[in-house]
Amino acid sequence: MTSSVLPVSEPAATDAPLLRVIDVVKHFSAGVGATVKAVDGVSFDIRPGETVGLVGESGCGKSTLGRLITRLLPVTSGQILFDGVDLTALRGEHLRQQRKQLQIIFQDPFASLDPRMTIGDIIGEPLVNFGLAGRHEKDRRVQELLRVVGLNPYFNNRYPHEFSGGQRQRIGIARALALRPKLIVCDEPVSALDVSIQAQIVNLLEDLQAEFHLTYLFIAHDLSVVRHISDRVLVMYLGKLVEIAPSDVLYQSQQHPYTRALLSAIPVPDPRVESQRRLIHLSGEIPSPLHPPSGCRFHPRCPIAEAPGICSQVEPPMEQKAPGRFAACHFSDRVVTEVG
């Protein structure tokens, strides 16, 4: 695959992409002869300083993709270029050194912190691992990181159970920041938090991005939050990207029927808007990734599919439909007028 067909927000963007995901595939074996195609040929770019949102329903492969990018899982095939270096080809010490640049924040702030380590050791461990700080220096950096994420710097001797969910997520963020990474994969970072706390963490992530020139891949199922924080949004369905669009135009016009249906299902906290909102019904359930449908994977549920026909026979390629807008649909020009 050549770089010219890779979805970038502006074709003329001068910044070289920080992350380039090229035709990445991840298959899991599920018993004899069965394969779960969790991620099945995904390509996209992230430019430095950008926040890219990744949305999709349970089981679509979005978390798997986040884990492939951070090399927590090995890819089945494809390339992940980070700053021009192919992470999938790296092993051992070379991989370890690259990982400094690439951190992850997890969904569950309870499971992702070791209950028997102090906050100082949790946040400072990456520094020690990479030999970046001696004991005294570590304490100072940990206190600084705690201050940066809005926690009391003198909490470094406490344990995770003494903190609330939102505070723990701040600790997870401080740990991710410790090595001054360029890219942070945020995997559902606010989904487990109380509504009143979600805004605190979203605002903190925005502040940190401005301060430390961070690039985010923000994975979540809550499209409202994703759209708020992201410059561009990737929509994933059954192991594949179906649409890539700038977040400020996504709600107005869609190039893929699934995106449109997904957006129509989101309740808006305004009774007047809600009384007008029309739900686009999708028939059936998400098919099993063990046996994805032929042609376009969305065709059995798609309101405008030509099936049997092109949609059930030919898999639509991801194509640029308008400047900065990409979709994998044979009939993307009919989406806004004919779906819903």
Partner 1 sequence: MVGGQILFHGRDLLKLSREEMRRVRGRDIAMIFQDPLSALNPVLRIGYQVDEAMHAHDKVPRNQVAARSVHLLDTVRVPDASRRVRDYPHQFSGGMRQRAMIAMGLANRPELLIADEPTTALDVTVQAQILELLREMNRETGTSIILITHNLGVVAGLCSRVIVMYAGEIVEEGPIEQIFENPQHPYTWALLRSIPRIDFARHDRLRSIEGLPPDLIALPRGCKFHPRCPFRVERCLTDEPSLQTVKGGQRAACWVTMKRAYEEMGAADIIDTRPGAASGVHPPGFTLPPFGAADGGGPTGPSEVAAP
Using CB under 8 A, list all residues that contact partner 1: 57-58, 137, 140-141, 143-145, 147-153, 164, 166-167, 177-178, 180, 194-200, 202-204, 206-208, 210-213, 221, 223-225, 227-228, 248, 251-252, 261-274, 277, 279, 281-282, 284-285
The whole-angstrom separation of Cα 266 and Cα 213 is: 31
Closer residue to partner 1 (CB): 274 or 333 = 274
Supply the minimum distance, in Å, between the C-beta of residue 154 and partner 1.
11
Cis status, amide bond into 308, omega within 30 of 0: yes
- By beta-carbon proximity to partner 1, the closer residue of 13 and 273 is 273
Whole-number Å distance between alpha carbons of 260 and 119: 43
Whether 77 and 20 have beta carbons less than 8 Å apart is answered as: no
Least gap, CB of 3 to partner 1 (angstroms): 30
State in angstroms the smallest separation of the CB of 95 from partner 1.
23
Q: Which is nearer to partner 1, 98 or 191 (CB)?
A: 191
Helix ranges, the chain (H): 62-69, 92-99, 119-129, 135-148, 165-177, 195-212, 223-229, 247-250, 257-264, 271-276, 310-313, 335-338
* Nearest distance from C-beta of residue 250 to partner 1, angstroms: 9
Cα–Cα distance measured from residue 104 to residue 322, given in angstroms and rounded to the nearest whole number: 32
Cα 309 to Cα 166, 289, 296, distances in angstroms: 50, 22, 11
Task: Select 1 or 212, whichever has its Cβ closest to partner 1.
Answer: 212
| Shorter beta-carbon distance to partner 1: residue 20 or 175 | 175
* Minimum distance from residue 14 beta carbon to partner 1 (Å): 20
Q: Say if residues 89 and 95 touch (Cβ distance below 8 Å).
A: no
- Output the smallest distance, CB 247 to partner 1, in A: 9
CB atoms within 10 A of CB 269: 7
Distance CA 150, CA 234 (A): 30
Identity of the residue, 261 or 328, whose beta carbon is nearer to partner 1 in the bound complex? 261
